[in-house]
């Protein structure tokens, strides 16, 4: 009986999907926009020597460029027009969110509703342009100096014109991706910027899978490691899917109100607190801070002076902060836990939530409104954040350790799995919402037609 009911439900879902013309158009628009994104990732920057790019990728393995290259779908490795991807926008939006939580003027602007959000979004765009310009300038300068010792120049004609051209191209590419993401959000399905990041990660999966199975065929990677890695990925996906949807629901009760029949009835609702309120922000911040010194030392390359001892310091730094090393794993886990608590405190304000409940007449049963409610919310949020922070640390550290021990190239790390699973679950939820809206729309139309016939 259960299987029969599931089959009927699936048939009804397929029937609703075939009738939902607007949803199909949104899905096709999203797919077309992501194809444009992938096409731009193969358009190179002007004035680049392609031969030096392979050497650049080989000499900077393990640095922060690997993480950025993963998020951009290989665009940074190819030095395309969208080499920076949407990472400057992500950084600028995080900075604006932190500033709006700490600065009184921005905090008041955030409470103004849609007008305040538009102003904050405008500040985020200004910050994106600024970060793109700075990163593009340093990227162009690094390309000019790369390969100087070996005699292989990465830039055909270095100079101020090349740097300005790179900055303008990268700023234009990133802003175009933001516009494309906004179009996906408004005319497609899902969050546009998140889908672009996920598409960049998923685009590298065929190459990774090919290298993995090719290593098994040639014998460089044992079949046991391949099977263990696949099982690890499947288990992590299941754990992420479960925990990301886990919530602690606090019962909220409102005063009794008179109904149409003259009866007094109390309204009840729930305040959902996610187990992982911070999302994927803690792993991104922690890995960025850890890998930044390593990347700087790698860009320094052979230009260090070994006689002064500075070169030995860089070599030691590269060894201790390499993937899989105890110091790196410890600092990575500690950074994830710290940013999990820090970002949760930024995005959820117990004082503001308690004040809003008090204004609307709501209260938690057994807890007095006001200060006691604020303390209780902070207590509950701290407890679930401990579990969420430990979950994030384990999900991100275990793949890093296994990848370092087995020698498998860094791709399906914890951060990338978190992004892919979160975006997929969110997109599927929005598709289901569109299907439900279409189904209720049909019911309303049928009800109106029956009323007219009568």
Give the least confident one: 127-131, 245-249, 294-298. Answer: 294-298
The conformation of residue 45, written as its DSSP 8-state character, comes to: P
**CA–CA gap between residue 149 and residue 267 (Å, rounded):** 74
Q: Per this entry, what is the length of the chain?
A: 454
Q: What is the mean pLDDT of residues 150-175?
A: 83
pLDDT computed for residue 318 by the predictor: 64
For residues 241 and 358, membership in a common domain is answered with: yes
Q: Does residue 235 belong to any structural domain of this protein?
A: yes
Give the least confident one: 215-219, 379-383, 428-432. Answer: 215-219
Is the confidence at residue 244, as pLDDT, over 50?
yes
Q: Does residue 42 belong to any structural domain of this protein?
A: yes
Q: State whether residue 271 is helix, strand or coil.
A: strand
> Which H/E stretch holds residue 265?
strand 264-274
**CA–CA gap between residue 73 and residue 197 (Å, rounded):** 8
Nearest by Cα to 254 from 264, 244, 246 = 264
**CA–CA gap between residue 413 and residue 452 (Å, rounded):** 59
**CA–CA gap between residue 401 and residue 380 (Å, rounded):** 32
For residues 181 and 212, membership in a common domain is answered with: no
The conformation of residue 303, written as its DSSP 8-state character, comes to: G
For residues 385 and 420, membership in a common domain is answered with: yes
Q: What is the mean pLDDT of residues 373-385?
A: 90
Q: Does residue 18 belong to any structural domain of this protein?
A: no
pLDDT computed for residue 228 by the predictor: 81
Helix-, strand-, coil-residue percentages of the chain, each rounded to 5 = 75, 5, 20
**CA–CA gap between residue 422 and residue 244 (Å, rounded):** 7
Q: Does residue 10 belong to any structural domain of this protein?
A: no
Q: State whether residue 269 is helix, strand or coil.
A: strand
The conformation of residue 154, written as its DSSP 8-state character, comes to: S
Mutual angle of helices 21-40 and 192-202, in 10-degree steps: 60
For residues 113 and 219, membership in a common domain is answered with: no
**CA–CA gap between residue 358 and residue 121 (Å, rounded):** 30
Give the least confident one: 34-43, 81-90, 270-279, 403-412. Answer: 403-412
Best-predicted range by mean pLDDT (259-268, 318-327, 436-445): 318-327
**CA–CA gap between residue 431 and residue 17 (Å, rounded):** 9
For residues 121 and 215, membership in a common domain is answered with: no
Long-range CB contacts (within 8 A, 24+) of 256-261: none
Of 175, 203, 231, the residue that ends a domain is 203
For residues 124 and 269, membership in a common domain is answered with: no
Backbone conformation region of residue 264, classed left if phi is above 0, alpha if psi is from -120 to 50, else beta: beta
Backbone angles phi, psi at 48, to 5 degrees: -100, 140
Is the confidence at residue 64, as pLDDT, over 60?
no
**CA–CA gap between residue 361 and residue 377 (Å, rounded):** 17
**CA–CA gap between residue 286 and residue 42 (Å, rounded):** 30
Question: Average model confidence (pLDDT) for the chain?
Answer: 77
How many domains does the chain divide into?
Answer: 2
Residue 163 Cα to chain centre, angstroms:
29
Task: Give the whole-number percent of the chain exceeding pLDDT 90.
Answer: 12
For residues 439 and 352, membership in a common domain is answered with: yes
For residues 250 and 144, membership in a common domain is answered with: no
pLDDT computed for residue 291 by the predictor: 67
Q: Tell me the DSSP string of 191-219.
A: -HHHHHHHHHHHTTHHHHHHHHHHHHHHT
> 189 with 430: CB under 8 angstroms?
yes
Q: Write the burial class of residue 168 (CB in 10 Å: 0-12 exposed, 13-18 middle, 19+ buried).
A: middle
pLDDT computed for residue 34 by the predictor: 92
* Encoded tokens for 53: 């790019």
Residue 73 Cα to chain centre, angstroms:
14
**CA–CA gap between residue 356 and residue 162 (Å, rounded):** 54
Higher-confidence residue of 15 and 279: namely 279
Please, which pLDDT band fits residue 389 given cuts at 50, 70 and 90? very high
Higher-confidence residue of 54 and 129: namely 129
* Encoded tokens for 42: 């193969």
Q: Does residue 19 belong to any structural domain of this protein?
A: no
Q: What is the mean pLDDT of residues 362-383?
A: 87
pLDDT computed for residue 308 by the predictor: 47
For residues 353 and 418, membership in a common domain is answered with: yes
Q: State whether residue 97 is helix, strand or coil.
A: helix
For residues 228 and 346, membership in a common domain is answered with: yes
Is the confidence at residue 289, as pLDDT, over 80?
no
For residues 265 and 380, membership in a common domain is answered with: yes
pLDDT computed for residue 203 by the predictor: 84
Cα end-to-end distance, the chain, whole Å: 38
Give the tens place of pLDDT for each residue, 335-357. 899 989 988 888 888 888 888 88
80: domain CATH number is: 1.10.3370.10
pLDDT computed for residue 130 by the predictor: 92
Give the tens place of pLDDT for each residue, 14-36. 556 666 778 888 889 999 999 99
Q: What is the mean pLDDT of residues 404-428?
A: 76
Q: State whether residue 85 is helix, strand or coil.
A: coil
Please, which pLDDT band fits residue 448 given cuts at 50, 70 and 90? low
Q: Does residue 161 belong to any structural domain of this protein?
A: yes
Q: Does residue 98 belong to any structural domain of this protein?
A: yes
pLDDT computed for residue 441 by the predictor: 63
Domain that holds residue 429: 204-454
Q: Write the burial class of residue 231 (CB in 10 Å: 0-12 exposed, 13-18 middle, 19+ buried).
A: exposed
Of 152, 171, 203, the residue that ends a domain is 203
Of 163, 183, 203, the residue that ends a domain is 203
Q: What is the mean pLDDT of residues 239-252?
A: 87
For residues 129 and 265, membership in a common domain is answered with: no
pLDDT computed for residue 296 by the predictor: 57
pLDDT computed for residue 303 by the predictor: 46
Q: Does residue 87 belong to any structural domain of this protein?
A: yes
């Amino acid at each position: 009986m259960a299987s029969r009911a599931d089959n009927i439900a699936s048939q009804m879902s397929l029937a609703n999907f075939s009738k939902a013309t607007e949803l199909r158009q949104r899905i096709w628009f999203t797919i077309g926009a992501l194809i444009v994104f992938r096409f731009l990732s193969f358009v190179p920057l002007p004035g680049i020597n392609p031969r030096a790019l392979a050497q650049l990728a080989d000499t900077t393995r393990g640095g922060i460029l690997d993480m950025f290259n993963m998020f951009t779908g290989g665009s940074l490795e190819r030095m395309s027009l969208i080499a920076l991807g949407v990472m400057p926008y992500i950084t600028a939006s995080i900075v604006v969110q932190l500033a709006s939580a700490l600065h009184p003027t921005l905090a008041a602007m955030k409470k103004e509703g849609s007008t305040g959000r538009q102003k904050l979004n405008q500040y985020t765009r200004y910050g994106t342009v600024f970060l793109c310009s700075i990163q593009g300038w340093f990227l162009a300068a690094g390309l000019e100096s790369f390969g100087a010792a070996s005699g292989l120049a990465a830039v055909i004609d270095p100079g101020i014109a090349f740097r300005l051209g790179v900055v303008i191209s990268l700023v234009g590419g990133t802003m175009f991706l933001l516009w494309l993401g906004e179009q996906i959000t408004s005319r497609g399905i899902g969050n546009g910027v998140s889908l672009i990041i996920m598409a960049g990660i998923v685009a590298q999966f065929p190459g990774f899978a090919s290298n993995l199975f090719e290593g098994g065929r040639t014998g460089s990677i044992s079949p046991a490691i391949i099977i263990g890695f696949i099982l690890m990925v499947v288990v992590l996906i299941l754990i992420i899917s479960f925990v990301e949807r886990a919530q602690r629901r606090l019962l909220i009760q409102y005063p009794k109100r008179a109904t149409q029949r003259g009866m007094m009835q109390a309204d009840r609702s729930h305040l959902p607190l996610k187990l992982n309120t911070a999302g994927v922000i803690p792993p991104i911040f922690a890995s960025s801070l850890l890998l930044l010194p390593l990347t700087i030392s790698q860009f320094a390359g052979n230009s260090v002076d070994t006689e002064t001892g500075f070169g030995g310091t860089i070599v030691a730094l590269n060894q201790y902060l390499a993937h899989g090393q105890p110091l790196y794993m410890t600092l990575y886990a500690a950074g994830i836990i710290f940013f999990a608590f820090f970002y949760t405190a930024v995005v959820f304000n117990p004082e503001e939530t308690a004040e809003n409940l008090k204004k609307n007449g709501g209260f938690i049963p057994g807890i007095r409104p006001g200060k006691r409610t604020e303390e209780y919310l902070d207590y509950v949020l701290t407890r679930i954040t401990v579990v969420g922070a430990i979950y994030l640390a384990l999900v991100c550290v275990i793949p890093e350790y296994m990848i370092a021990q087995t020698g498998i190239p860094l791709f399906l790390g914890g951060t990338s799995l978190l992004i892919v699973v979160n975006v997929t679950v969110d997109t599927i939820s929005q598709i289901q919402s569109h299907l439900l809206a279409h189904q209720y729309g049909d019911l309303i139309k049928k009800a109106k037609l029956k009323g007219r016939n009568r």
